[in-house]
Structure 1
Amino acid sequence: MLLTTPTVRDLERLTARVLENSTRTAGARIDAYRHDANFFIDIDLPGYDAASIDITVEGKVLTIRAERKCAAGADVQYVIAERPVGFSRDVQLADLLDTDRLEARYDQGVLTLSIPVVDERQPRKAEVAAAR
């Protein structure tokens, strides 16, 4: 058990917040890369259940949300609670990604999204039909 006074505890919390905000990115860490005809996004989500992960695409904005259930239960009183219970991240996508064919896989705490890259759209001619 940790023994501290309220003043020390408040100072530790303030210090942790300052350091956390200055060294961490918002949310989970991601890698984004292209390989052949696919664009990949890897997101670290350790400890989340795959069923709690929600992925939506609206326009060209990809949103990933996840929730982690409290393992200790509701009747406990935390002394320290630093692990996030929820996650949300928006990612702006390029126009050349086919989000209708997005695939997601969750393995060993890493969510991997695969999005096919479409060929650059070329100008297309339209045929004009004559009236009968």
Structure 2
Amino acid sequence: MATYDPFRDLDRLAAGFFDTRRGPRRMPMDLYRDGDHYVLSADLPGIDPGSVDIDVDGQLLTIRAERTLSDREGVKWITRERETTSFLRQLNLGQGIDTDGIAATYSNGVLTVTIPVSEKAKPRKIQVVADGSAGTIRAHESSQEPQPVEQ
């Protein structure tokens, strides 16, 4: 049997009055680049995957999620510290992102968003071609490694 702690109720009451984080909470996240894509991992514990909403408007990526708790009728709560809350995070993607290829998964309380780099933004080699008649050099893009030019 749990012992009654009057200070716990006082702490919870004070947190309710003085909590300045009204509205959506920020979700902690990590972001890194792995080859030709960025990977965003965000902690969303206790979230129903169906409540996660990810959208892209231009270059703005918005992630929203909501944690809801079931209300059980006929039960006597001993303590209830988990809150119903919403989460929000917005990121400016900048240029060079393939917004059509963004994908997301949710596993073990972690949302993972994969953001591919667009083909235009990927590093590429420029092949130099020598014009034999006037010694003029022309450059054009190539998806292959440049070949040596023999004179």
Fold agreement, TM-score > 0.5 = yes
Paired-residue identity, %: 32
Shift of 1:71: 2.9
Give the counterpart letter for 1:31 in structure 2: D
In structure 2, stretches of 5+ residues that fail to align are 125-151
User: 2:121 matched to which residue of 1?
Assistant: 120
Alpha-carbon shift at residue 8 of structure 1 (Å):
6.7
Residue correspondence of structure 1 range 22-37 to structure 2 within 5 A: 27-37=26-36
2-structure distance, mates of 1:84, 1:92: 28
1:93 aligns with 2:93: yes
Letter in 1 for 2:40: I
RMSD: 3.3
Residue 120 (structure 1) shift: 2.5
- Which has the bigger relative contact order, CA under 8 A and spacing at least 6? 1
| Aligned-partner Cα distance in 2 for 1:95–1:11 | 45
Q: Which amino acid aligns with 1:98?
A: D
Structure 1 residue aligned with 2:6, among 3, 7, 26? 3
State the TM-score, normalizing by the size of structure 2.
0.61
Contact 1:63 1:88 (8 Å CA) reproduced:
yes
Asked if 2 retains the 8 angstrom alpha-carbon contact of 1:64 and 1:89, the reply is yes
Q: TM-score, normalised by structure 1?
A: 0.68
Aligned partner of 1:49: which letter? D
Post-superposition offset of 1:82: 5.4
**Between Structure 1 and Structure 2, how many residues are aligned?**
115
Aligned-partner residue type, residue 6 of structure 2: L
1:63 aligns with 62
* Higher gyration radius (CA): 2
Q: Does the 8 Å contact 2:31/2:38 carry over to 1?
A: yes
Single out whichever of 82-91 and 36-45 deviates more from structure 2. 82-91
